[in-house]
Amino acid sequence: MSEILTRQDCLALDAADPLRELRNQFTLPEGVIYLDGNSLGALPAATPARVAAAIQQEWGEGLIRSWNSAGWIAQPQRLGDKIARLVGAAPGELVVADSTSVNLYKVLSAALSIAKADAPERKVILSDRENFPTDLYIAQSLCAQHGLTLELTSAAELQARLAGGADIAVLMWTQVNYRSGQMLDMARVTALAHAAGALTIWDLAHSAGAVPVDLKGAQADFAIGCGYKYLNGGPGAPAFAWAHPRHADRFWQPLSGWMGHAAPFRFDTDYRPAQGVSRYLCGTPAVLAMSALECGIDTLLAAEPLGGMAALRAKSLQLSRLFIDQVRQRCAAHALPLASPLDDAQRGSQVSLAHNEGGYAVMAALIERGVIGDFRAGASSEAEPDLLRFGFTPLYTRFVDVFDAVTALAEVLDSGEWRQARFNQRAAVT
């Protein structure tokens, strides 16, 4: 455990933080400490004007002409090239389209199309028992369609399972677990999967914009990711999809809409996929939503002159370590087992604390005090506890925010105020 930092120490850390100016890119509400950027990123200050221009000038004035004059038609590739810079991919390798779930359907189909050609005897999709449910649901659908088996394992058992993995067609994993924040070493796991002859799909929902990702360096096969978490693209923002160039002209995906056609404006009767990852496209691009997403991506690219994702990662780890230390020191009277890895190398950009007695109410009481994290129910067991989740987004989270959040947590727990009935009136929370 580190020395005990005071609030003054945290203010000093903020003052010395080389990334401190990046926070000015965001519009954050007064009186709120926002520790839920892992669920929905905060609003970039540039977004309202950019979307207003897309609506009023491009749509309102330009009307149909803006497909060309405002570059709407090239948005999926243009934004894809920007995201590529954040995840270790090259221009032309990544496109923005649809939702994360829809894109997972495409990339899993794509991987299966290649596995079927190269190794038709492999019948297993291997994934994480604790994967985000939508990933499992999409895999279940494709397993039912293709006569495959979805087998679930854990990060701890993964290496042993891959060692005997001659039956595995595809390893599909979310690099940073949405509950615990546990992060896998993509290069190492990809190498193990490849050694077993399996293809890899990486869900970067909690990685892209949160931790350095090097898809090409890891020799990964396929990837998808989310636009509304660490990319700050706004609620329900479009998602992205990537394929390694060695697969990009070869894979098949079933959502064969006109925008993924080799020549969409020839209006041919027969489908012919576009070159490369543009075949991931399906329907007409979501222009307005992509305008907002681009502003979000730009908040991350603004960190490039300051060291980019490596610098953001260093600060993220400082923030999450500070949070862990402060909770240990200042909430020691309460049972709050750490549900995230203590080892920096295995921790994404969030920290989860177990609280089976009243996690939902504790979070509700925190939110009333202006500290916004979120709650994820478990099986209320030791193996899968109820969780308080706190996300740290180095673009806009300050060290003093961490200190003040722990102050609020300590007060909520010390006072027992969370035991009041009003804090336990559950509503759906994403």
CA angle 305, 298, 208 (to 5 degrees): 90
Can you tell me which residue has the tokens 């905060």? 42
CA atoms within 13 A on the CB side of 225: 33
Phi then psi for residue 329, to 5 deg, are -80, -40
Any catalytic annotation for residue 396? no
* Contact status, residue 172 vs residue 139, Cβ threshold 8 Å: yes
Residue 6 lies near a second copy (rule: CB under 8 A):
no
Q: Compare residues 295 and 409 and give the one whose CB is closer to a second copy.
A: 295
Virtual torsion, Cα 274, 278, 283, 287, nearest 10 deg: -140
Q: C-beta of 324: minimal distance to a second copy in Å?
A: 22
Rg (CA), the chain: 22
Told to judge if 123 belongs to the known catalytic residues of this protein, a careful annotator would answer: no
The pair phi, psi for residue 113, each rounded to 5°, is -65, -35
Q: Least CB distance from residue 129 to a second copy, whole Å?
A: 7
Question: Given candidates 91, 235, 337, 416, which one binds a second copy under the rule CB under 8 A?
Answer: 235
Smallest distance from a second copy to CB 344, Å:
26
Identify the burial level of 406 via C-beta atoms within 10 angstroms of its C-beta, where 0-12 means exposed, 13-18 middle and 19 or more buried.
buried
Q: Does 312 bind a second copy (CB under 8 A)?
A: no
Report, in Å, the least distance between residue 408 CB and a second copy: 16
Q: Segment contacting a second copy (CB under 8 A): 181-189, 236-244, 334-342, 350-358?
A: 236-244
Say whether residue 268 binds a second copy (CB under 8 A): yes
Q: Which of 132, 323, 396, 403 is catalytic?
A: 132
- Kind of pairing between the strands at 26-27 and 43-44: antiparallel
Provide the 3-class DSSP secondary structure of residue 71: coil
Residues 126-185 interacting with a second copy (rule: CB under 8 A): 129, 132-134, 136-138, 140-142, 145, 152
Report the alpha-carbon distance of residue 405 to residue 126 in Å, rounded. 38
Taking the least distance from each CB to a second copy, the nearer of 50 and 216 is 50
Residues with Cβ within 8 Å of 71's Cβ and at least 6 positions away in sequence, in order, are 78
Torsion sign over Cα 242, 247, 248, 250: negative
Length, in residues, of the chain: 430
Binding status of residue 258 toward a second copy by CB under 8 A: yes
CB of 73 to a second copy, least distance (A): 6
Report whether 100 belongs to an annotated binding site: yes
The residue (of 59 and 344) whose beta carbon lies closer to a second copy is 59
Residues 38-67 that bind a second copy (CB under 8 A): 39-40, 42-43, 47-48, 51-52, 55-56, 58-61, 63-67
**Which member of 5, 12, 32, 314 binds a second copy (CB under 8 A)?**
32
Half-sphere exposure of 41 (CA within 13 A, CB side): 35
Residues 69-128 that bind a second copy (CB under 8 A): 72-73, 98-102, 105
**258 appears as a binding residue in the annotation:** yes
Which residues are part of the catalytic machinery? 132, 203, 228-229, 389
Binding residues for pyridoxal 5'-phosphate: 100-101, 132-135, 174, 203, 206, 228, 258, 284
